[in-house]
Structure 1
Amino acid sequence: MVSRFGSFYPPNITPDPEQGIGSWSYEQFVRAVRQGISPKGEPYYPAFPYEFYATLTDQDMADLWASIQAVPPAAIPSTVHQVPFPFNIRGGVKIWRTFFEKPVTYVANITRSAAWNRGRYLVWGPAHCAACHVPRNALGGLPGNQDLAGDPSMQDGQSSPPLTAQALTARGYTKEALVQALRTGITPDGDAFGGSMAEVVHGGTKFLLRQHLDDMATYLLDLDDN
C-alpha cells in the first residue's frame, strides 16, 4: 500500500514458524488483530486496520485462527516497509495512537432489524469500509463521528465517494444493485470500479456470502429488512 507516509507491505501470515506466524499463540494472534500489538510488544502501523478489527467477535477470531492454521506454510520472508524518517520510528506510532487511535466498538441497535445490525457490524468491522470512505486528517487520524462521507484526499492519492444512503441512492443504487456491485465491481450505470475499490471487490467482497452482501446493502442504504 503506497501512501504519503511510505510504502507498506503485507507480511507473511502463513503458519511457517520462521517467516510466518507459526510460532504465535492464539492469544498473541488475537492481540495483534484486535489491538495492533506484535508478540514483541511493538505497535503495528495503522496501515493494518486493527482499529476496525477491534470489534471482531470471539467466534470470528477463532474462525480466522483456524483458517490460517489450514493454510500451507510458506518460508517466504516478509518485505520490509519502505517508510522514511520520521515515520520509520516505531515509537512515534505509540504517540500517534495516543492522539488518533479510535477503535471501533459495536453495540446492536435494538430498534433496527437483525439484517441492519449485521450489516453495520460487517461494514464497520471485518469489511472496514471506513478505512477508505471516512476523511482522515493530515496525520492519518480518523474523525470522531462515524459518517461514511468519503475522502477526497486518500493516503494513496486517490479519492473515495461517500457511502451514505442519500449519496448511494443518488448514484442509482438499489439494494440489488449494491449487492451486485460488491459482487462484480459493476456499478448501476454499467461502469466498473477502478483503483483500490476494484481490489476490494476482486480480493474481498466477491467472496462474501449472499446474506453478508444483503446485510451490508441493508445497512448502507438504511433499509429496515426483517
Structure 2
Amino acid sequence: MNQVTGIDVRTAGRSDVRETAAVLARAFDDDPVMAWMFPDTEERPRRLPGLFSVLLRHQHLRHGAVRLGVDAGPAEDSSADRRRKRDEPIQGAALWDPPGQWRNPAWRELLALPGYARLFGRRLAVAGETVATLAAAHPEEPHWYLAVLGTEPTAQGRGVGAALLRSRLDVCDREGTPAYLESSKDRNVPYYERFGFRVTGEITIPHGGPTTWAMWRIPQG
C-alpha cells in the first residue's frame, strides 16, 4: 500500500466493486455529465451505482489499475492491522487505464451493452453520443488515462483525491509517461492544475450537453 497524507492507497479487486460503485455514485450525483445522461434527480442516485459497477467490471478493473483510498492507521500498526485496512470503508477511488488501454475492444462493449441498456433506457443514445464525443477528442499519444476520480462526499477535503492522484502520477514521473483526464466541472480545473495538468481544449457534448475540459500532464522532473 501507498500511504499519502493520512490515506492508504491500494489496488481494487472484484470484491470491492459494490462499495466502490456506491462511493462513486454519491461523489458524482451532481456531476454535469452524469446529470446530462441521467436528468431525473430521483432516478440518478438509483442508477449511478449500476453504471459504475458496469464500468468497473467491463472496463477498468481488468487493468489492475483501479486505486482505492482508505484511512491510514497509526505508524505503529502491525502488518495484521494493515491487512484489516481492506475491511475499512472506502473513502475514494481513481479509475486509471494504462497506456493504450483506454478504449474498450468492441467485443467487451457488446458484453457490457445489456447493462448499459438496462441502466439508460431511452437515454441510451444520449449516453452513447456523450461517450463518442469524449472519445473523438481523446489523444492518441500513449498516456495514463484518469477516467474517474471520486471521493465520498463526507471525506472531501481530507486529501483523499490528492493521495489517489499522487499514487499514479509518481509512477508517471518515474516512467516518463504523460497523463490525461477530462474535468466535467470548471471549478475542478485549478485543482488538477496543482498536480501538473494543463487544459488543452474544451469538449462540448452535442445538442445542449455540458462542456468538459481536456487536461494533459507531461511527466514532471
With normalisation by structure 1, the TM-score equals: 0.26
With normalisation by structure 2, the TM-score equals: 0.27
Q: Larger C-alpha radius of gyration, 1 or 2?
A: 1
Write 1 or 2 for the structure with the bigger share of strand: 2
Higher normalized contact order (CA 8 Å, seq sep 6+, divided by chain length): 2
